[in-house]
Amino acid sequence: MRMFGTNGVRGIANEYLSCELALRMGRCIGKVLGPRIAMACDTRVTSDMIRSALSAGLMSVGTDVLDLGVVPTPALQLYIKEHHEITGGVMITASHNPPEFNGIKCISGDGTECPPEEERRIEDLYDEDVPTVGWKDVGSILRISNAAEDYVRSIVSKVDSESIKEAGFTVVVDCANGASVETTPMLMKELGVRAITINGNPQGEFPGHPSEPTEDNLSALKKMVVDLGADLGIAHDGDADRCVFIAGDGRYISGDAALAILSRHLLKKEGGNSVTVTVATSAVVESTVASCGGDVVYTAVGSPIVSRAMRDNGSIFGGEENGGLIFASHQYCRDGAMGAAVMLECILSEGPLPEQLDSLPRYYTVKKTAYCPDELKQTVTDEISSNHADCKINRMDGLRIDFDDGWVLLRPSGTEPKYRIYSESRDRDTAEQRAQVFLEEFESTLSRL
């Protein structure tokens, strides 16, 4: 049975995501990921139930469980990466989804997200009767209490913490009442930052605001940054693998702008030569990276894809426009608190964020949505691609066409009968007209099939 989506197994707890499912899943994960599994969760009220059932399943096939408690996903991933005897991991989280949801995300023994092949092996076992071990061989649970401190200490060692301490920054942190409630305030303290934390209560019902760190959900954070004259606002999603920023003047920094700003800082600091982003990323990143003498490597959409590409091509930095930031110097996964620390270092070296934002080239992006039945997605993409054979075409994820003054991306949704059409240009009218032209071409092509 197909169970893993782009972000692990997700559903409403005690409905789709039941104890029975978690127990059975635990047996399959134990069989595939091996004899020592580290486990953590975010603050959701159903996390204890899911982790108890999952642990029972794991132990019944002879797997030992190291329970890290409530920590961010990247803290679990770092713990796995740094402890070689651990053969895999499980994060119980539904990231930014509403509080009734929960989820199971699997981590490989090197701390990176499980590749799809490994998830397929787990799913394939789900339909079988996985044999349990004899009573003498069942696994045990060991509670680990230092994963949060280890994560914070590791980040402090990767940035210029002495200079950050001397700067006397004021920062407002919005934890969305999620997995970062302990770690990010602790990190700010270790970095000598005067930090004011909002939505820092691990109640599990996310009453502060929905835990997706979008501009609309962060109005309280924006206001506090301005009212307190803070240097920076930081917001995480529910499991704190992502991080978004508010500049000192209250402006929300888009994910694309954050990628550009951090790329510029890191290329100067670390002297690497490439940054990896997805084909849906604004050209603001490519033009900023080019101005520093670097190259951009493009991949399909999905943070595990970006992470693996970075490892293969030696990029120092990469990420996605939703606040997923990946630092090769730390670990190959989205790393929310690391993003916060590097942004402080970036303000020190490149100046206040409002000025950095104003220095970026301005691009306009238009997004449209078109209906398309799943079975016709490939044919439509092929047809439109052949209509533009004389253009610069990229088929890595849907169809991207680059023009001298912008680009268009037609990307099939992985979960719905839809296409998303992105159009970007330095000129607003060009971006809008081109989005409309391609929407009409898409609809007329589909109507002929």
- The stretches of 72-146 forming alpha helices (DSSP H) are 73-82, 116-126
The answer to whether residue 256 forms part of the interface with Mg ion (CB under 5 A) is no
Amino acid sitting at position 417: P
**Is 239 among the residues that bind Mg ion (CB under 5 A)?**
yes
Contact characters 74-103, Mg ion, x per CB under 5 A: ---------------------x--------
Cβ nearer to Mg ion, comparing 336 with 406: 336
Count CA atoms closer than 13 A to 104's CA, side-chain side. 30
Q: Computed over its alpha carbons, how large is the radius of gyration of the chain?
A: 22
Query: Residue 182, interface with Mg ion (CB under 5 A)?
Result: no
Size of the site for Mg ion (CB under 5 A): 4
Asked if residues 285 and 260 have their Cβ atoms less than 8 Å apart, the reply is: yes
User: Quick one: which segment of 60-68, 198-206, 230-238, 441-449 binds Mg ion (CB under 5 A)?
Assistant: 230-238
95 is catalytic: yes
CB of 2 to Mg ion, least distance (A): 22
Phi and psi angles of residue 12, each rounded to the nearest 5 degrees, phi first: -75, 130
Handedness of CA 360, 361, 362, 367 (dihedral sign): negative
* Binding piece for Mg ion, criterion CB under 5 A, among 132-140, 178-186, 199-207, 234-242: 234-242
User: 198 - beta bridge partners?
Assistant: 174
Q: What's the length of the chain?
A: 449
- For the four alpha carbons of 91, 97, 102 and 103, in that order, the dihedral sign comes to negative
Q: Which of 182, 241, 256, 424 binds Mg ion (CB under 5 A)?
A: 241
- As given in the structure block, the two tokens for residue 189 are 């303290």
- Options 47, 55, 60, 95, the catalytic residue: 95
Pick between residue 57 and residue 208 the one whose CB is nearest to Mg ion. Answer: 208
**320 near Mg ion, rule: CB under 5 A:** no
- Residue number, 335 or 441, with CB nearest to Mg ion: 335
- Asked whether position 174 contacts Mg ion by CB under 5 A, the answer is no
State in angstroms the smallest separation of the CB of 222 from Mg ion: 21
Q: Which of 113, 182, 237, 286 is in the footprint of Mg ion by CB under 5 A?
A: 237
423 lies in the binding site for Mg ion (CB under 5 A): no
Residue-wise over 254-287: b if at least 16 C-beta within 10 A, else e?
bbbbbbbbbbbbbbebeebebbbbbbbbbbbbbe
The least distance separating Mg ion from the CB of residue 12, rounded to whole angstroms, comes to: 18
Q: Cβ closer to Mg ion: 42 or 345?
A: 42
Please say whether the beta carbons of 51 and 92 come within 8 A. Answer: yes
State the nearest-atom distance from the C-beta of 237 to Mg ion, in Å.
Answer: 4
Q: Which amino acid would we find at residue 58?
A: L
Q: At its nearest, how many Å lie between Mg ion and the CB of residue 322?
A: 9
Burial class (CB in 10 A: 0-12, 13-18, 19+), 341: buried
3 state SS for 389-427: CCCEEECCCCEEEEECCEEEEEEECCCCCEEEEEEEECC
In the bound state with Mg ion, the residue whose beta carbon lies nearer, of 173 and 409, is: 173
Q: Which residue is nearest to Mg ion (CB)?
A: 95
In the complex, least distance from residue 304 CB atom to Mg ion, rounded to whole angstroms: 13
Which of 95, 282 has the CB closer to Mg ion?
A: 95
Of 60 and 97, CB closest to Mg ion: 97
- Residue 113 touching Mg ion (CB under 5 A): no
Residues acting as catalytic residues: 95
Binding stretches for Mg ion (CB under 5 A): 95, 237, 239, 241
